[in-house]
Amino acid sequence: MSLVFAIFTPVIAALLIPLLYKRVSAIHTGWFVLLIPVALVSLYATYIPPIIDGTTYKDELPWIPSLGLSFISYLDGLSLLFSLLITGIGALVVLYSIFYLDKKKEKLGNFYVYLLLFMSAMLGVVQSDHLISLYFFWELTSISSFLLIGYWYTKDRSRFGALKSMMITVFGGLMMLGGFVILGILGDTYSIRELIAQAPDLVDHKFFVWALVLVLLGAFTKSAQFPFYIWLPDAMEAPTPVSAYLHSATMVKAGLYLVARFTPIFALSEVWVWLVTGIGILTLLWGSFFAVKQTDLKAILAFSTVSQLGLIMSLLGIGSIAYHVTGDLVTTFTFATFAAIFHLMNHATFKGSLFMIAGIVDHETGTRDIRKLGGLMSLMPISFTIALIGSLSMAGVPPFNGFLSKEMFLDAVLNLKNFDLHALDSWWILFPIIAWIASVFTFVYSLYFVFHTFRGKHKPEQLPKAAHEAPVGMLLSPGILASLVVIIFFVPNFFGNTFIKPAVAAIQPLAYQVPADVGFTIKAWHGFDSLAMYMTLGVFLVGYLLFKTIPKWSPIYKTFPTKLSLNGMYDGLMRLGDSGANRFSSIYMTGSIRSYFVYMFTAIIVLLGGTMWIKDAFVISYENLAPIRFFEILISIILIVGTITILVTKSRLTAIIALGAVGYTVALFYILFKAPDLALTQLVIETVSVALFLGAFYHLPQMNKHEKGKEDRGFRLGNFLIALGVGVMVTLIAISSHSQKLIPSISEYYKETVYSEAGGGNIVNVILVDYRGFDTLFEISVLTIASLGIIGMITLRLAKKKGDRKVENK
């Protein structure tokens, strides 16, 4: 089966889901859905052996060939690992959701359509080799995740969480698109593999860092890194299967995938190393610290997800140091990448199971509030066992897989001492310290999660439901994941060789040709000379002490003001954006035509004046000027007097008559400048319009009815200046354009041909009806429209007149 087709299988299947949901209501729709991830995971499993040998697969489906856009599915170690995670955990989540979501109460059709859409999108993200199709799938994950978070759309919190996650991830997605476009332009290709080959040439380009930062923004927002993690806790309003799937195992790892995938390109820049490592370790500390504060089971897990993603992110950053060193150090730092991928896999297993347990607790007791829970151990023994396995693995306790990856993490952080760049020989010590503190808090919240839920005193009176063990079907998926947690601990190198090494070879293509070259083995026992082991022992000791004394030191969380928290800032920013935009538009959108005229005329002055100023366009030339005649001066004086009268007069009637005078003067000008047709038309039209003005005047209310004794039109300096400015501008432009006639007029042609070609003597009329009759045709259409408009305005009066009597004209 074609790989591209495999990506689209879930979404194509999603088309059938509503039909099955409506028609086959006896069977839970999830059972049909389950077939798809199961089929896909078996398909991808067949690729494991060749990928271990170093083979890669590529499948291409042209999309817009003229733009070089195609869906390219490229399967190597990294994308195969992610594809297996997506489909494998997807299958378990679907299985879990069959028992979690009620067939009758829930809109299952919607749920599974969104889920399958998401699955396709995720597969597309991890397999795309084309940047634009990668972005396409990336946004599809944002959208489907938005739909899934808002699944219970009648709840305010769901909608809020969905919107928040949408805003943040789409912000990052758009930034990432910017980065992709820069990369595409720099490398003249959108294929990731071709870009990797070109990376050494690109790294010195001045836009390279921009591309890097923008792509990282995309990765950080999706992977809930500091300070963008804030959407993840709010996304916990989604149904628990969604939280388990999207917000622990897959979507939040899309950012990690992106970082890993782009490491061969961007790691050549030091900015990348510092940003990824620094933000990762900061997120690790921040998330683990605030996880203990939470009282909601899923919120604890959300913060723990944030923190664990930070851990993986910082490991990927340390791993990318391998591009900056030579010799044995390459192997030393690549070990961090190995640890990152290993922890990524481990995290998917234990966090998936923990979320499912949180869902079971919620489902069986009716609450997720840890303050109400307690003493469930004897009531829900299987859930407790699974939760214990997951939590201890998260805390890094043997014999669970989290222990292995946590050890490797500490090792990798300690390895930083070998990298002596930018005084890191003294500063590097910060990293292990932060990592250690974060590990302590991880230990604390892991114990807090499991023991405060399952140990202590049972409080049945506070629970909405009587607690009892979940059905087998619901326990199946977390059970499988929890057993994987244990299995990975005992045979880590099997998983290492099968999944991790091909992925590492894909991230570090320069160092390793085939996965077999990656020479790491996972050891559970480091020996007594390992510093990491002592650090782990310290974590256990200090963590246990802190856990026992939580009530004593937890009040420090109250010292953090809500307003200064990142959520507070986000809310403030949203409010500010909302009210700020409102206030801004209410400032300039006054609704008064007068102010809009002010804007327009000011724009005319500024734009035209500015252009003339910049281009130095003002020219005055005394050539081509006709001599001024006496009548012209006389008529101009009349014209000016008429105009000023219009401006200063206090009565409307005077203004109308002065306007008429101006019109007739213009007609006189036409006569003087030998335009008889214009003069004729001007005279008649002026008469008609003055008559119409008088008609309008007759019906107008008295001008100064309400403000007697005041000036009829107040003088406003601003208006005066603007009017003056426009007048001056137009005059300057007229003078300049008259002063520089670049081409001769075409009127000579009309003069020569008016009789011979057009059979006429009056050039004006011949131009109107013959040479340019087209214009006339539309001008008479304009007249027609105007008259029809007047008919409409006068006869169709639907508005009521005074006295509430509906007046209808004939």
Partner 1 sequence: MKTNDLIIQTTTKVVFYIIFLFSIHIFFAGHYTPGGGFVGGLLMSSAIVLLLLAFDLKTVQAMLPVNYTVVTAIGLLIALATASGSIFFNVPFFTHAFDYYNLPLLGKTSIHTAMFFDTGVYLVVVGVTMTIIQMIGGDE
- Work out how close the CB of 772 gets to partner 1 at its nearest, in angstroms, rounded to a whole number: 9
Q: Which is nearer to partner 1, 639 or 763 (CB)?
A: 763
Minimum Å distance from CB 786 to partner 1?
7
Q: Which is nearer to partner 1, 78 or 766 (CB)?
A: 766
369 CB burial (10 A radius; 0-12, 13-18, 19+) = middle
User: Tokens 């390992």 belong to which residue?
Assistant: 530
Question: C-beta of 792: minimal distance to partner 1 in Å?
Answer: 10
CA distance 484 to 495: 11
In the complex, what is the shortest distance from the CB of residue 687 to partner 1, in angstroms, rounded to a whole number? 8
CB of 144 to partner 1, least distance (A): 55
Nearer to partner 1, 215 or 767 (CB): 767
CA distance 90 to 87: 5
Residue 115 or 766: the one with the smaller Cβ distance to partner 1 is: 766
Closest CA to 413 of 352, 336, 476: 336
| Bridge partners, residue 62, by sequence | 70
At position 302, the amino acid (one-letter code) is: A
Residue placing its CB nearer to partner 1 in the complex, 731 or 787:
787
Reported as type and span, the H/E element at residue 62 is strand 57-64
Residues that bind partner 1 (CB under 8 A): 676-677, 680-681, 684-685, 687-688, 692, 695, 758-762, 764-766, 768-770, 773-774, 776-777, 780-781, 783-784, 786-788, 790-791, 794-795, 809
Answer whether 10's CB lies under 8 Å from 33's CB: no
The answer to whether the Cα torsion of 754, 755, 756, 757 is positive or negative is positive
DSSP H helices, 549-592, are 550-553, 566-588
- The nearest distance, CB 749 to partner 1, in angstroms, is 16
Kindly state the DSSP code that residue 768 receives in the 8-state scheme: I
Which residue is it, tokens 């998917």?
348
Backbone φ and ψ for 59, nearest 5 degrees, come out as -140, 135
Nearest distance from residue 803's CB to partner 1, in Å? 16
Which helix (H) or strand (E) covers residue 297, if one does?
Answer: helix 297-319
Q: Which is nearer to partner 1, 472 or 688 (CB)?
A: 688
Report d(CA 764, CA 767) in Å as an integer. 5
**Residue 685 CB, nearest distance to partner 1 (Å)?**
7
Beta bridge partners of 71: 61
- Choose between 55 and 776: whose C-beta lies nearer to partner 1: 776
Least distance between partner 1 and beta carbon 666 (Å):
16
| Cα–Cα dist 386/380, whole Å | 10
Neighbouring residues of 719: CB distance < 8 A, sequence distance ≥ 6: 598
Q: How far apart are CA 196 and CA 194, in angstroms?
A: 5
Written in H, E and C, the secondary structure of 423-466 is CHHHHCCHHHHHHHHHHHHHHHHHHHHHHHHHCCCCCHHHCCCC
Choose among 407, 401, 406, 403: nearest CA to 485.
Answer: 401
Looking at the Cβ atoms of 737 and 747, the one nearer to partner 1 is 747
| Residue placing its CB nearer to partner 1 in the complex, 462 or 689 | 689
What stretches of 24-106 show up as alpha helix (H) in DSSP?
A: 30-45, 48-52, 77-100
CB closer to partner 1 out of 56 and 681: 681
Alpha-carbon distance 76 to 127, whole Å? 9
Q: Retrieve residue 241's tokens.
A: 């299967």
Cβ 679 to partner 1 shortest distance, Å: 8
Buried b (16+ CB within 10 A) or exposed e, 107-134: ebbbbbbbbbbbbbbbbbbbbbbbbbbb
Report cis status (omega within 30 of 0) of the bond before 460: no
Question: Which H or E run includes 73?
Answer: strand 69-75
73 strand-pairing partners: 59, 128
Q: Considering beta carbons, is residue 550 or 678 the nearer one to partner 1?
A: 678
Nearer to partner 1, 730 or 788 (CB): 788
DSSP bridge partners of 195: none
Compute the least distance from the CB of residue 806 to partner 1, in Å.
16
Helical (H) or strand (E) element with 255: helix 251-266
Token output for 167: 């805003």
Token pair of 479 as six digits: 């059970």
Between CA 364 and CA 483 the distance in angstroms is 22
> Of 19, 39, 38, 37, which Cα lies nearest the Cα of 29?
19
CA max distance for the chain: 115
Minimum CB separation of residue 655 from partner 1 in Å reads: 20
Task: Say if residues 219 and 258 touch (Cβ distance below 8 Å).
Answer: yes
Q: Is the CB of 423 or the CB of 794 nearer to partner 1?
A: 794
How far is C-alpha 42 from the geometric centre of its chain's CA atoms?
Answer: 34
Our CB check for partner 1 shows the closer of 714 and 759 to be 759
Minimum distance between the CB of residue 777 and partner 1, rounded to whole angstroms?
6
Output 107 or 806, the one with its CB closest to partner 1: 806
Structural contact between residues 251 and 314, judged by C-beta atoms closer than 8 angstroms: no
Question: Is the CB of 382 or the CB of 768 nearer to partner 1?
Answer: 768
Nearest approach, Cβ of 764 to partner 1 (angstroms)?
Answer: 8
Burial 37-56 (b: 16+ CB within 10 A, else e): bbbbbeebeebeeebbebeb
- For residue 642, the minimal CB distance to partner 1 (Å) is 23
Least gap, CB of 671 to partner 1 (angstroms) = 11
Q: Is 374 strand, coil or helix?
A: coil
- Between 325 and 768, CB nearer to partner 1: 768
Least Cβ distance, residue 779 to partner 1 (angstroms): 9
Q: Minimum distance between the CB of residue 725 and partner 1, rounded to whole angstroms? A: 36
Closer residue to partner 1 in complex, CB, 740/787: 787
